[in-house]
Structure 1
Amino acid sequence: MIEFQPGRYRRTIVRIWKTTGISLGLLVFFIVAVRFNLLWLFGGMPDLAMLENPQSELASELISEDGRSLGKYFSENRVRIEVDQLSPNLIHALIATEDARFTNHSGIDGRSMLRVAKGVFTGNSSSGGGSTITQQVAKNLFETRSKKYRGVLGKIPLVGTVIMKTKEWMLAVILERKYTKNEIMMMYLNTVSFGNNTYGIKVASRSYFGKEPIDLTVTEAALLVGMLQNPSLHNPLRRPANATRRRNVVMSQMVRYNYLPAAEFHALKDKPLDLRFRLDGPNAGLAPYFQESMRGYLEAWIKLYNEENDTDLDLKTSGLRIHTTVDSRLQQHMETALKEHMREQQRLFDAHWKGRNPWAYPNGREVPGFIEKAVKSLPHFIALKKDIGEAEAWKVMRKPYKMKVFSYDGEKEMHMSPIDSIRYYKRFLHAGMMSMDPRSGHIKAWVGGVDFKYFKYDHVKQGRRQPGSTFKPFVYITALQKNYLTPCDRITDQPVEGNWNPPSSQYSYQSLTLRQALGQSVNSISANIIQMVKPATVADYAHKLGITSQLDEVPSLCLGISSVSVYEMVNAYCSFANGGYRTEQLAILRIEDRNGNVLQEFHPKQNQELSDLMAYNMLYLMRGAVEDPGGTAARLRSYGVTEGNEIAAKTGTTQNHSDAWFMGMTQNLVSGIWVGGEDMQIHFRTMALGQGGHAALPAWGMYMKNVYADRTLEQYKKAAFIKPANFTPVCDESLKDSSGTYTPPHASTDEGAQF
């Protein structure tokens, strides 16, 4: 026991010891009280389980089969990375600016702690926050300043600050014991906000500079680290001068701590920000229509998985890694080709209807009240009408204001009323295009429209339109399967005996092979065949091969009168290209959690509906459209895709040229495209412009030309179809009529359903 000797300073020394002891006791009591939330005054603390496995909200990411990010689902746009994916410039900038003694302290920096204490008690806010990186991790990860951890005393301004800081210090010490410095640094960089809905260094690096964190230069790293102090104040998009000054402060700190030579700092400080900002938001990046289509499926899968496994996965926050079948290279080639093609089609369409509205009857007369009817069906107008009455609702719809609108030359700012904007957008043509690997069922590319930001409706899977003559192969395969016909049989181009004939048909009365008839899309031949086999049988075979929409069992079904989607048509055509198997479309290969653990793998389901010989017979017949005189797809030769290659194809056009289709098959890829107006009344006035061979085929040609030119896509190179061992050689005299010489019946523009 310590005894103080009598003397001049005895009382003072005793007082100091007592004060120190009491202070230490109170400090310990305060820490214990905070830790255990004494009398619910201090608010709770994260439990030990959370500290052992800290979680932050992570975006779930769609990944292409070739390893590229297609897009993300998130509430906070954040993707986690590891320290070996960081540029040294970034690490140096962070430590020099945020926590110079990061490698030396144990979660609490004594000097910073004294500075903060002084600032709190003197009310000097300029003294700085002084939090270490570890303390900021505690604050970001465990939300120490949220209401759920506040407690009664936390509502008192000064006391609340002290309590929150104490919690962060305690958590920092625990984190330092459980994790390495590198792990703590990555917890910080993976969770912090960089403004503009970007969280974590990977997303920030991609969004502001279009590159990975490991590739950041000194100035880029300094800019991003500088934003951490106040992302709004130092936002380089809105306050570039502030951001530049802050960037230079960070670089000066790097000089101070010997991470950057002074000479290099002086050379860099006047450099421009050189931003390449691209908002990495929902449906950004490649394949936005595919991303959106997958959202509903993934949410349903997560709900079922949670129920079966007692988990709480969330698409927007659980950091799932969703590996898809889409190939980013094919996707890019398809998006490029379709945009180029649709730009040209829109130019032709606008010139074709110059000075007139494109919503018209078959005789060319404008449909009266077309726009007014469209306005009345809008949910916004219906809500306005209910709230303020119809007359006032029309006034609102006619009032112009500034808005941004889509154009192929880039976004335009215009003054328009809502009615004007509807009239503007109704003039645009739309498109949907998809590719599948016929053998695996893998969806390889998916473009559901011309621009997802302005046209969100997906014309691959949501949209259903009449397929016109692209439906005819299902009529032909039914006849072959039911042994009504063989590939070498002939049928005369003449009217059908019975109550129904295709309207507007021009009859040549020549004997045509099935290949000639299908290649030239002769309507009377299809009508004759469906009379043989019956419409119900055709519908049954179409459903067996992959068509899921309801089909009208009437004779005109042979001309494609029942609406279907591109998604269905591509799947059904795959049965011809893969040896007769109906293969269920597969979009997702596997789903992993944030740590890379596989939650589920997916495999295609197949069922053989045709023999390989019968499937090849159809390929042989459909090659006629590309290879033979008068074939409706002969234009493909101009794209350089036919030489040294075998392509089976079918064009399609519907009544009044409202829908243009093209279906193309190669050995390893089946693709389909639809082009048309938002409504069937919106169309070209002539077959020359509106037929599938003109309005749809070129996009396929450009797409495949790009695919064949891409040397990284050798698996899709030109090749012949795989011929079954029992295939009979090409029919003798197959290109001759009964007189010995074949002559095409007429210059065929009748490639579509005319009814």
Structure 2
Amino acid sequence: MRKTEGLLKLLSLCLLAGVLVAGVLFPVVGAAGVASNQASETVDSMSSELATDPPPLVTNVTDSAGNVIATLYKQYRIPTAANQINDAMKWALISTEDRRFYDHKGVDWKGTIRAAISNQTGGDTQGASTLTQQYVKNYLINVVNRENPLGQEKAQEQTIARKLKEARIAIQLETKMPKDQILAGYLNVVEFSHQIYGVGAAAKAYFNTTPDKLTVPQAALLAGMVNNPIMYDPWRKPDNAMHRRNLVIDRMVDNKKLAPADAERLKTEPLGVVEKAPDKPASNCVGAGPENGFFCQYVVDYLLQHGMSEDELFTGGYTIKTTMDQRANDEAKKSAEAQVKKNQPNVANTLSLVKPGKERHEVVALAANRDYGLDKDRGQTTYPLPSGVTNVTGAGSSFKIFTAAAALKQGVAGINSTIQVPNFHISQVFTGGGDQCPPKDRYTRTYCVSNATEGGSGAMSLQTALATSPNTAFVILEEQAGMGPVVEMASKLGLRNSMAGNAATGGPVDPDNENAQFRTSQTAWYGPSDNSPGKGSFTLGVSPVSGLEMANVAATIMSGGVWCPPTPIASITDRDGKPVPYKEPACEQVVDEGLANSLAVGMSKDDMPGGTSHAAAAAARWTRPMIGKTGTTQNNGSAAFVGATPQLAGAAMVFRPDSPNGGLYDRGPGNVVAARGTNGDMFGGKTPARTWFGAVSKILEGQPELPLPPLDPRYDRVGRR
């Protein structure tokens, strides 16, 4: 019986050896039919990928001056060329993993057969994979199948079939790449602990150095880790790491790459890694810090919305140069915090700044009183407060901009036309008022509106109305111009994403939700329907809105009626420095230039005596020509200021992001405690206006005071066209 078992085992080993040899010789005899053409093509394709396709890299996000503000990645890797890796690292790895690396042609077939026999006969388990084979396996695990657990599992199967495929690819790879390039490729692909990939990232994260400056003990530690990164983690298992490092040093001696005396001395050195944990950057916009994180997040959101996939963005190794002006962003952050403390519960104070222009509208700053980050206990958030549709209670009377623009276009009024300004108005067009409003009929209550203060003159120019903001005047203009043109104007001037939001959440609209204030159809968004002319409260700004889009509205007006997407991108280059195209909507002439210029003239008195932002402008010693419009919602739930000069447009908004309607004790004008001043600052002319003037006055220091565009006579008074 024992003889039979011995003969069978010997026969199986002979067969195994034959299979392995046939696999090694595959490229030579493949044409004679050892494998199918399909298998040959697969192997050839795989070896070509390893020879030409680089692994995932880190994408760098910079400010407008080219300074890196954040890194985006799924694998932390710093690409390193062969000549950037010193001999200590190369020989530490070769001595440990593949002493005959420079002698074989991809497969050490003697070692492979020896290991297979040892494993089959119950001896010590041996791998005998060359570095070229390990490169293939690690490439399959960390690159090809990096998000495919099943593929990763197959790439590590302890089967002859997998070994044969790996061997065939390794042999072909060595016909396409020199040895040093294969070695560098392996050292760029392999994973170390803490999801650090490649020797470049490992040298930086472990020792704060570069691969060309690694010492022998440092190189030995890294070379030893590739065998089992978790087992030899120097922070979690320092004893294991020390033992493994010293074993690598001994193998360098055995391979005659290190003198025995030097080895004994080097083995006494400490591990020498940085304290506590690897020093690697954050993998997302948290790495941009509390000041720049909101801008970085907008960059990511913008690119994902305009044709780039998340995987492409986080693995492409791009350099994304943004339009963020670091000084402007810093001033915006300072001003927002000066008005509302960063830890003020349930209050966000945001400022978004955009450069006007007829070819681009570049975003230069996105800031908030709150810090960008993950620590909620410190008031941090990753919600896009300055750029997203995050203010769900509205921008108040800032929306009167759209009613004024529609009135100009429809010929209802000119900038200097006299318009009605009663203290109280009962609408004969809109419905859905309050307790003061008499029923229109048995089933319908009328819509009525009053002004914030008593004693209106009964009539004033549209320019004066824009500066003093009487509610009744704009509801009447809304009736006269028609809700459709008013809503269309809001979209044209810039509220593109805002108008696709839901009143409760700022998210996608549920078409079956009758209470949704916004619709995806612009004409339906607070606009007319078969049985309703629309909601008169639209002009009072009670709808969810993006601060950045309100800033872009001002930029559109100051650009002669040219709308452009508010872009955060200056340029994108790939890992080789070549430009990367990306999708971006084209600029549009959305309103007549004369109308836009005349609207700017109409909005030019807000900072003057009698204007709603005069006190804030005076406090900032403001002297520049500008346009402006304040807004405050019902019960001071939120407030805004929209303003612009020829050089810079912006919007500041104060709102409650966590609980929009407030709590039981969070009502009325006392809901904001400003860092300066008194309670009750949630008015457009107070906290938001102070934030805008405080930042923009400093950002524009040293720049010329440019005039506003002239009034077009066609929009002066009704009947001039």
In the superposition, the TM-score normalised over structure 1's length comes to 0.62
Cα distance in 1 between the residues matched to 2:322 and 2:106: 48
One of 681, 701, 713 as aligned partner of 2:661: 681
How far 1:708 sits from its partner (Å)?
Answer: 5.7
> What SS does the corresponding residue of 2:196 show, helix, strand or coil?
coil
One of 437, 460, 482 as aligned partner of 2:355: 437
How far 1:477 sits from its partner (Å)?
Answer: 2.8
Structure 2 match to 1:391: none
1:674 partner letter:
M
Gap change, CA 1:543 and 1:114, over 3 Å in 2: closer
Gap change, CA 1:322 and 1:469, over 3 Å in 2: farther
1:474 partner letter:
F
Whether 1:468 aligns to 2:448 is no
Whether 1:49 aligns to 2:45 is yes
Gap change, CA 1:170 and 1:442, over 3 Å in 2: same
Structure 2 match to 1:3: none
Gap change, CA 1:662 and 1:198, over 3 Å in 2: farther
Aligned ranges 1:567-716 → 2 under 5 Å: 567-586=548-567, 600-602=581-583, 604-628=585-609, 630-632=611-613, 634-635=615-616, 642=622, 645-677=624-656, 678-682=658-662, 683=666, 685-686=668-669, 688-697=680-689, 699-700=691-692, 704=696
> What SS does the corresponding residue of 1:344 show, helix, strand or coil?
coil
Structure 2 match to 1:551: 526
Structure 2 match to 1:184: 182
The answer (yes or no) to whether the contact 1:233–1:239 under 8 Å persists in 2 is: yes
> What is the aligned-residue RMSD (CA, Å)?
5.4
Cα distance in 1 between the residues matched to 2:230 and 2:325: 34
Structure 1 match to 2:326: 329
Mean alpha-carbon deviation: is it higher for 185-194 or for 22-31? 22-31
> What SS does the corresponding residue of 2:192 show, helix, strand or coil?
coil
The answer (yes or no) to whether the contact 1:588–1:602 under 8 Å persists in 2 is: no
- Write the deviation string for residues 210-251 of structure 1: whole angstroms up to 9, x where unpaired: 898789899987765554343213335534565577678879
Structure 1 match to 2:282: 280
Mean alpha-carbon deviation: is it higher for 94-103 or for 574-583? 94-103
Cα distance in 2 between the residues matched to 1:247 and 1:646: 69
Cα distance in 2 between the residues matched to 1:180 and 1:501: 81
Cα distance in 2 between the residues matched to 1:561 and 1:27: 75
How far 1:57 sits from its partner (Å)?
Answer: 5.6
Cα distance in 2 between the residues matched to 1:614 and 1:216: 66
Q: Which has the bigger relative contact order, CA under 8 A and spacing at least 6? A: 2
The answer (yes or no) to whether the contact 1:530–1:538 under 8 Å persists in 2 is: yes
One of 457, 472, 488 as aligned partner of 1:509: 457
Cα distance in 1 between the residues matched to 2:603 and 2:212: 51
Cα distance in 1 between the residues matched to 2:209 and 2:644: 37
Gap change, CA 1:23 and 1:240, over 3 Å in 2: closer
- Write the deviation string for residues 565-587 of structure 1: whole angstroms up to 9, x where unpaired: 33542332221121211223445
- Write the deviation string for residues 43-70 of structure 1: whole angstroms up to 9, x where unpaired: 9995102212224662684745745667
Cα distance in 1 between the residues matched to 2:538 and 2:459: 23
> What SS does the corresponding residue of 1:689 show, helix, strand or coil?
coil
> What SS does the corresponding residue of 1:686 show, helix, strand or coil?
helix
- Write the deviation string for residues 446-473 of structure 1: whole angstroms up to 9, x where unpaired: 5698546465554433434422021122
The answer (yes or no) to whether the contact 1:580–1:611 under 8 Å persists in 2 is: yes
Cα distance in 1 between the residues matched to 2:553 and 2:590: 11
Mean alpha-carbon deviation: is it higher for 169-178 or for 449-458? 449-458
How far 1:124 sits from its partner (Å)?
Answer: 7.6
Cα distance in 2 between the residues matched to 1:150 and 1:556: 60
Gap change, CA 1:184 and 1:555, over 3 Å in 2: same
Structure 1 match to 2:92: 97
Cα distance in 2 between the residues matched to 1:244 and 1:706: 56
Gap change, CA 1:53 and 1:468, over 3 Å in 2: same
The answer (yes or no) to whether the contact 1:330–1:444 under 8 Å persists in 2 is: no
> What SS does the corresponding residue of 2:189 show, helix, strand or coil?
coil
Aligned ranges 1:207-246 → 2 under 5 Å: 227-239=225-237
Structure 1 gaps of 5+ residues are 1-20, 303-312, 350-427, 710-716, 732-755
The answer (yes or no) to whether the contact 1:433–1:674 under 8 Å persists in 2 is: yes
- Write the deviation string for residues 9-30 of structure 1: whole angstroms up to 9, x where unpaired: xxxxxxxxxxxx9999887446
Gap change, CA 1:68 and 1:727, over 3 Å in 2: same
Q: Percent identity?
A: 21
Cα distance in 1 between the residues matched to 2:227 and 2:187: 13
Gap change, CA 1:468 and 1:283, over 3 Å in 2: same
One of 471, 475, 489 as aligned partner of 1:541: 489
Gap change, CA 1:638 and 1:190, over 3 Å in 2: farther
Structure 1 match to 2:11: none
Cα distance in 2 between the residues matched to 1:212 and 1:102: 27
Structure 1 match to 2:24: 31
The answer (yes or no) to whether the contact 2:629–2:641 under 8 Å persists in 1 is: yes
Aligned ranges 1:17-416 → 2 under 5 Å: 28-29=21-22, 31-32=24-25, 47-54=43-50, 55=53, 58=56, 61=59, 63-64=61-62, 66=64, 67=66, 76-77=74-75, 81-83=79-81, 88=84, 91-99=86-94, 104-105=102-103, 113=111, 117=115, 120=118, 133-142=131-140, 160=159, 168=166, 171-201=169-199, 227-239=225-237, 257=257, 269=270, 271=272, 273-274=274-275, 277-278=279-280, 280-286=282-288, 287=295, 289-290=297-298, 293-294=301-302, 297=305, 315=312, 319=316, 321=318, 323=320, 325-327=322-324, 329=326, 333=330, 336-337=333-334, 340=337, 344=341, 346-347=343-344, 349=345
Mean alpha-carbon deviation: is it higher for 624-633 or for 540-549? 624-633
How far 1:133 sits from its partner (Å)?
Answer: 3.9
> What SS does the corresponding residue of 1:690 show, helix, strand or coil?
coil
Cα distance in 1 between the residues matched to 2:684 and 2:201: 42
Cα distance in 2 between the residues matched to 1:210 and 1:649: 51
1:564 partner letter:
V
The answer (yes or no) to whether the contact 1:318–1:594 under 8 Å persists in 2 is: no
The answer (yes or no) to whether the contact 1:322–1:588 under 8 Å persists in 2 is: no
> What SS does the corresponding residue of 1:672 show, helix, strand or coil?
strand
Mean alpha-carbon deviation: is it higher for 132-141 or for 593-602? 593-602
In the superposition, the TM-score normalised over structure 2's length comes to 0.65
The answer (yes or no) to whether the contact 1:81–1:190 under 8 Å persists in 2 is: yes
Structure 2 match to 1:565: 546
The alignment covers a number of residue pairs equal to 597
Cα distance in 2 between the residues matched to 1:226 and 1:515: 76
2:660 partner letter:
M
